[in-house]
Amino acid sequence: MKAVVKIENVTKIIKKRKIIDSLSFEVMEGEVFGFLGPNGAGKTTTIRMIVGLIGISEGDIKILGNSVQTNFEKAIQHVGAIVENPEMYKFMSGYQNLLHYAKMSEGITKEKIMETVEFVGLTERIHDKVKTYSLGMRQRLGLAQCLLHDPKVLILDEPTNGLDPAGIREIRDHVRKLARERGMAVIVSSHLLSEMEMMCDRVGIIQKGKLITIQSVHEQVEGGAKEYEIDVDHPTEAMFAVNRLIPQQQAEVKGNTLMLRAQKEDIPLLVKEWVHDGINIYRIQETTKTLEDRFLEVTTLQKEAE
């Protein structure tokens, strides 16, 4: 896989304040990269710098090797983007809007426009004025607008804002499809964790203009070990059994619940041992850490550090 978008030590200073502080990351071909952070963390600012809407104070952003600062036309021709809400010319029809944008890139045929319209499922209403569209339809038109020129990079800023669950799902399906089938590098920003978890391959968490961490969403906990919660009537004794059998792993008692990390194969052994010891087992559950847990973990750690 090759890196399509490279963000190199980018800093943005507005009125002597550092809005973005030496940010660096890369987005690969065919990957959905989530850009996650609380409101005001600098997500939209970063995205606006990538598409050249605002200037870069220090550092550089390269798209397929072309700098957006010195070689804007070359760099941006591979990019399709929605920045915040996709605002369209309301007094024109959806088709006229697309035609307008099509004329600004090279070699987009009318067939290509209709093909894109069909892809986003707007064929029936495309000749109606945009002012009659619902928010979901506008979002679809926005998506069509950035797919017209078959970009290598797709940038969606808060794409699910204000959409109903069906609309959110639709966007999500489209995004995954475009990354899988057309090999686009997709950058999605959001403050909705559950959303990102379902859509992205990797997530970068940004806070106060700094990139705190980049994590794979479906990260396997190291060595295949998983977290378990086990309800028993004598947790302390159960913990001794754990210490005897798998001393390399740590266990913790919370009320009547034993929390431990173990390999899958260890569980039946433990159960036999507990039954042998006369401990009653009520519940064994594998717990996966959600992105939300990790997000809160990371952001609170950050706060404590300050």
Which residues here bind other proteins, judged by CB under 8 A? 14, 45, 48, 51-55, 72-74, 76-77, 79, 81, 83-92, 96, 100-101, 103-106, 145
CA-closest candidate to residue 186, choices 159, 215, 213:
159
CB of 151 to other proteins, least distance (A): 10
Q: What whole-number distance in Å separates Cα of residue 81 and Cα of residue 129? A: 22
Give per-residue burial for 265-304: e unless 16+ CB within 10 Å, then b.
ebbeebeebbeeeebeeeeeeeeeeebeebbeebbeeeee
The token pair that represents 148 in the structure block:
């017209």
Q: Which is nearer to other proteins, 77 or 299 (CB)?
A: 77
CB of 145 to other proteins, least distance (A): 6
Q: Which is nearer to other proteins, 57 or 302 (CB)?
A: 57
Q: Which is nearer to other proteins, 148 or 262 (CB)?
A: 148
Q: What whole-number distance in Å separates Cα of residue 225 and Cα of residue 212? A: 25
CB of 100 to other proteins, least distance (A): 5
Q: With the C-alpha atoms ordered 248, 254, 258, 261, is the resulting torsion angle positive or negative?
A: negative
Q: What whole-number distance in Å separates Cα of residue 237 and Cα of residue 115? A: 66
Q: What whole-number distance in Å separates Cα of residue 212 and Cα of residue 295? A: 10
CB of 260 to other proteins, least distance (A): 50
Q: Which is nearer to other proteins, 107 or 223 (CB)?
A: 107
Q: Which is nearer to other proteins, 52 or 204 (CB)?
A: 52
CB of 284 to other proteins, least distance (A): 52
Residue 204 · residue 25 · CB < 8 Å: yes
Q: Which is nearer to other proteins, 88 or 242 (CB)?
A: 88
Sheet arrangement for strand 79-82: 79-82, 153-157, 185-190, 32-36, 202-207, 210-216
Residue whose structure tokens are 């071909």: 29
Q: What whole-number distance in Å separates Cα of residue 103 and Cα of residue 132? A: 24
CB of 43 to other proteins, least distance (A): 13
CB of 91 to other proteins, least distance (A): 5
Q: Which is nearer to other proteins, 13 or 296 (CB)?
A: 13
CB of 78 to other proteins, least distance (A): 9
Q: Which is nearer to other proteins, 35 or 295 (CB)?
A: 35
